[in-house]
Amino acid sequence: MNELLRPVYLEEKLEQVRGDGHQDYRSKSLPTWCPGCGYFSMAEGFTFALNRLGIDCKDAVVVSGIGCASRFPFFVSTYGFHTLHGRTLPVATGVKLANDALTVVAIGGDGDAFAIGGGHIPHAARRNVDLTYLVFDNGIYGLTKGQTSPTSALGFKTSTTPYENADEPLNPLMLLLAYRASWVGQAYAGRQHHLADMIVEAIAHRGFSYLNILSPCVTFDKTDMTYANLDVQVRDLPDDHDSSDLMAAMAEASQGDAPPLGVLYNVDRPTLTDVMDETARRSKETVS
């Protein structure tokens, strides 16, 4: 029988899911997100990525701020740090500097990242701290019940903008590219396998990797960043996109109406730890 036409039985499927090992990265706490929230794809994609890369739970730390996305550390069995609103990157940087052998993943929402936490992004990016920043961009403050965020679209009606949002939205990809993050990509919660592959690539990158994940808030956004809208708006990057070309990446990133999915930018340059090791070496030379 054609493999695609073969019936799939629940027990068989469960065995397959248990067998591949990625469920071992989930904690005993079940996610408290609303049914249908894009964040379920992140839990799946993240555990898949750690499993694929063979990273042991004891060697990984997830750092988050405050928001629905930031509840994430509770739902995985790695080490975790649920820190203050907007302070994800300084804490994650501290973890990496304290123990360079750890895989450090910072996680947050668009409010945590670009409103209260926005001042930290340029510095983590320009210093090329060797960590991965996964931002779940739903264009809204989900946890606090649906206020506008820095990435909310023009004209979006929320509880804080009943006469429509008049603020120009911030473009996360352009911001990260402007500050020379060494890896910048975008994924969509509605394309789960692609999202998982992108998390694998982001974590495997040596240096500061930023993945913007378009992720519907099904409870407080019924009109804008919905699955129905994003399904037709997102597009793959062109096959001939050159991810070492900053200007090409910016040209793609600037097309906000047709969000590109894939790796926009990817270059190798010294990380913060490399620079600090070199400084320590030179200071020893000076002393001796």
Ligand X SMILES: Cc1ncc(C[n+]2csc(CCOP(=O)(O)OP(=O)(O)O)c2C)c(N)n1
In the complex, which residues of this chain contact Mg ion (CB under 5 A)?
Answer: 109-110, 138
Within 10 angstroms of residue 29's Cβ, the number of other Cβ atoms is 12
The Cα–Cα gap between 148 and 137 comes to: 12
End-to-end CA distance of the chain: 75
Give the nearer residue to ligand X in terms of CB position, either 52 or 85. 85
Instruction: Tell me the three state secondary structure of residue 223.
Output: coil
By CB under 6 A, is residue 90 in contact with ligand X? no
Task: Provide, rounded to whole angstroms, the least separation between the CB of residue 67 and Mg ion.
Answer: 6
Here's the x/- map for ligand X, 97-126, by CB under 6 A: it reads as: -----------xxxxx--------------
Give the nearer residue to ligand X in terms of CB position, either 114 or 265. 114
Among 37, 106, 134, 261, binds ligand SF4 (CB under 6 A): 37
Element (H, E) at 141: none
Here's the x/- map for ligand SF4, 149-178, by CB under 6 A: it reads as: ------------------------------
Give the nearer residue to ligand X in terms of CB position, either 112 or 201. 112
Render 65-86 in DSSP notation, one character per residue: -SSSGGGGGGGBSSEEEE-STT
By CB under 6 A, is residue 172 in contact with ligand X? no
Give the nearer residue to ligand X in terms of CB position, either 68 or 261. 68
Among 138, 165, 182, 212, binds ligand SF4 (CB under 6 A): 138
Task: Provide, rounded to whole angstroms, the least separation between the CB of residue 150 and ligand SF4.
Answer: 16
Among 66, 76, 105, 211, binds ligand X (CB under 6 A): 66
The Cα–Cα gap between 162 and 23 comes to: 42
The Cα–Cα gap between 48 and 50 comes to: 6
Among 132, 149, 165, 212, binds ligand X (CB under 6 A): 149
Tell which residue, 71, 73, 14, has the closest CA to residue 47: 73
Number of residues engaging ligand SF4 in binding (CB under 6 A):
12
User: What CA–CA distances, in Å, run from 51 to 25, 65, 144, 160?
Assistant: 8, 24, 33, 41
The Cα–Cα gap between 40 and 58 comes to: 23
> 34 contacts which partner out of Mg ion, ligand SF4, ligand X, none, CB within 5 to 8 A by kind?
ligand SF4
The Cα–Cα gap between 270 and 208 comes to: 10
> What angle do the packed helices 192-204 and 39-53 form, to 10 degrees?
50
By CB under 6 A, is residue 39 in contact with ligand SF4? yes
Q: Which residues of this chain interact with ligand X, rule CB under 6 A? A: 66-69, 85, 108-112, 136, 138, 140-144, 149
